[in-house]
Structure formats: structure tokens, C-alpha cells
Amino acid sequence: MAKAYDIPAEYLINRLVENLKRDKKIEPPQWASYVKTGCHTEKIPQNRDWWYLRCASILRKVYIHGPIGVTDLRGEYGGKKQVGYSIAHHKYSGGAIVRRALQQLENSGYVTKRSKGRIISDEGMKKIDRIATEVYKDLANSMPYLQRYG
């Protein structure tokens, strides 16, 4: 059985997005259509499903790096911003986006809160492992380096 560590993140996250769209507890907030993802970005996200993509990415990061907090995730999704003529500095992403996504994942039962951050729940681990196994079966023939996980 393949795990999230074994599958390329791009394929796993895309499959998770499809599953999270069907979940009724994960819905983009009203402000999601016109908000920037951080002060380092210039425009709003161009992908209409960016909320589901961010939730799936956060779920994978909690699975791999867990226990992880909001500040750590803000740093992960942040980026460089040019400040005047000096060199660019790292800026955090928006905290409301990460916080709201984690709250929705908690309400769905995929993530649980601990004293030092969030960790993946048993239900979330089952879901990601099942999806990783499906992705592995789809990609095993086209990517020979994945066959060692079979």
C-alpha cells in the first residue's frame, strides 16, 4: 500500500482536490473570490478552485510534517517581496486563509487539534492513504521509479 510519501505531491494533491470538492463541509468562504493569498502576491489567484487546492495541500502538509501550527503553514505558503531597492525579504502568507482551511478540515474530521499544532486524524490518514494507493495504481506503469513501492 502506497503512502503520501511515495507519490509525487502534484498527483496526490490533484486527486485530493477532486475528493474535497465532493465533501459538503469544505466550502470556500464568501471572501475567497477576491482575496490575495498574502502581501507578497500582486493579484488574486487565477484558479477558481484555489480554495480546494490550498485545503488539499494543507492536509498533505499536516500528514507529512504533523504536528504543525498556523504560523508554520503561513511560512510555508509565504514568498519573497521586494522592499524598495534592497534585497527581497520573506513575507508570510495570509493567516485567515490557513486558519479557516484548518478549521474546515477539523470539522470534516481529517485533522485534530493538539497542544503543539494540528495532526492528521485516523479518518484523514485513511483517506490520504487510500487516494495515494489509487494514484500509485494509475501511475505505476508510466513512472518506473514508483514500482519499488508496490
In order, the DSSP letters of 78-123 are: -EEE--TTS--EEE-B-HHHHHHHHHHHHHHTSEEEETTEEEE-HH
Q: Say what the pLDDT of residue 112 is.
A: 96
Could you tell me which of 125, 118, 122 has the C-alpha nearest to residue 104? Answer: 118
Average pLDDT of the segment spanning 92-120: 93
Tell me 142's DSSP state. Answer: T
> What is the pTM for the complete model shown?
0.89
Band (pLDDT 50/70/90 cuts) for residue 147 is low
17-62 per-position pLDDT tens digit = 999 999 888 999 999 888 888 888 888 888 889 999 999 999 999 9
Q: Say what the pLDDT of residue 15 is.
A: 94
